[in-house]
Structure 1
Amino acid sequence: MKLKICGMKYPDNMLEVGSLLPDYMGFIFWEKSARYFDGDMPELPKSIRKTGVFVNESISEIEEKVKKYDLQAIQLHGQETVEFCSELKIKFGISIEIIKVFSADENFDFSVLKPYESVCDYFLFDTKGKLPGGNGTTFDWKILENYPSTKPFFLSGGIGVAELDSINEILKTDLPLYAIDINSKFEIEPGLKNTSLCTDAINRIYTKNK
């Protein structure tokens, strides 16, 4: 299982968190977000997959950000269609991972996933709320028992230290949980991560992998 630390905003903080070597680091390119990033990105360890988070953005704008920041992954957090994802996949090939986000609640219809399986590398499940993401709450993970796919997925949505302990129960199942995505509950303020809490998260995640 891997770890993604999302919502990075400040270069010095990026370097601090980057020194912890999370597997993924997320940068939000949606202007309405309190964690919107549009600055200079420092040199980060090569092992970290820099992930751009987009909400209903144009392909040309995504391509511009990929080139500007040398992104290795694209996270689609809006109502992007199968055709849109397919176009991105054709454009970038295997060089860029595509993560399609789905907002989940107790009524989530897992059948919507099937058309996306061939055009995405991973799914990501976040909590359904007023905003496309960053609502700071978890959804009932029991609904994942209905997951019909073998496609690896990220788990997101209000995950804090307490929730990290609960993830062990998911790991005991056959669910293809690929990565945990943490954000607001590991912050001092929006976009500024608490490196001590992030260190704790990394220690817990990698201990579970042993």
Structure 2
Amino acid sequence: MKYHENILEVASLLPDYMGFIFWAKSSRYFDGIIPILPKSIKKTGVFVNETIDEILAKAEKHDLQAIQLHGSESVTFCKELKNKMHTEIEIIKVFSVDDSFDFELLKPYETVCDYFLFDTKGKLPGGNGTTFDWKTLENYPSTKPFFLSGGIGIEELQSVQEILKTKLPIHAIDVNSKFEIEPGLKNVELSKDAIIRISNIKQ
């Protein structure tokens, strides 16, 4: 999210999480003030290879409830960040997935992150607008809940419904680029449609 009025419009739909990108190279870079949101929405700061001090500063400034690490952050980095943060702030570690992804890489992160997020491997750290082959997740060896991400639009929700029927510990569905009018500006009606559909699937 990027624009004040659009943030409030989407917030009225009560998504579980709302993301704000604090990576300056992103076209969705957020440098404003987050308006007051319903308490049920977890304000999530997205960072790419940022320093711990800067993450802590942004978390305090914007009263973030979740931190999404979208770079090459190490296990040691995540552990130090978790130790310095308030325990109620969730840490979500992102992994870019393709057909050759090695799930063994996840094991050391299990104790230092609250959730994983699986996105499509592409040119950018995120927001590439493409899906990866979800059959790859059949190899997921962990019970750690994760966010499913990567080019999910209305057309993919039927496939989302099918994967939610499996025993995979999917915590949330992450949608972004396919619901945008332009980077950071969401189509509210399309977003409303998605939230209703996903809510119905979860029930």
Question: For the superposition of Structure 1 and Structure 2, which TM-score range results when normalised by the shorter chain?
Answer: over 0.9
Q: Map 1:23-172; keep pairs closer than 5 Å.
A: 23-172=16-165
The superposition leaves residues 107-156 of structure 1 with CA deviations (integer Å, 9 ceiling, x where unpaired) of 00000000000000000000001111111100000000000000000011
Q: Deviation per CA, 1:59-109, whole angstroms, max 9, x where unpaired? A: 000011001100000000000000000011111142100000000000000
Structure 1 segments unaligned to the other structure (5+ residues): 1-7
Count of aligned residue pairs for this structure pair:
203
| CA offsets 1:39-76 (integer angstroms, 9 cap, x no match) | 12111111100000000000000011001100000000
In the alignment, structure 2 segments of 5+ residues that lack a partner are none
Which 4+ residue blocks in structure 1 deviate beyond 4 angstroms? none
Name 1:183's counterpart in structure 2: 176
TM-score (norm 1): 0.95
Aligned residues with identical type, % of pairs? 74
- Cα distance in 1 between the residues matched to 2:163 and 2:86: 31
Is residue 12 of structure 2 the alignment partner of residue 19 of structure 1?
Answer: yes
CA distance in 1, matches of 2:101, 2:201: 28
The DSSP-based 3-state class of the residue aligned with 1:99 is strand
C-alpha RMSD of the superposition: 0.7
TM-score by length of 2: 0.99
Secondary structure of 1:94's counterpart equals coil
Return the alpha-carbon distance in structure 2 between the equivalents of residues 135 and 72 of structure 1: 25
In structure 2, give the amino acid aligned to 1:161. Answer: I
Structure 1 residue aligned with 2:190, among 168, 172, 197?
197
Higher relative CO (Cα under 8 Å, sequence separation at least 6) belongs to 1
SS of alignment partner, residue 87 of structure 2: helix
Letter in 1 for 2:97: A
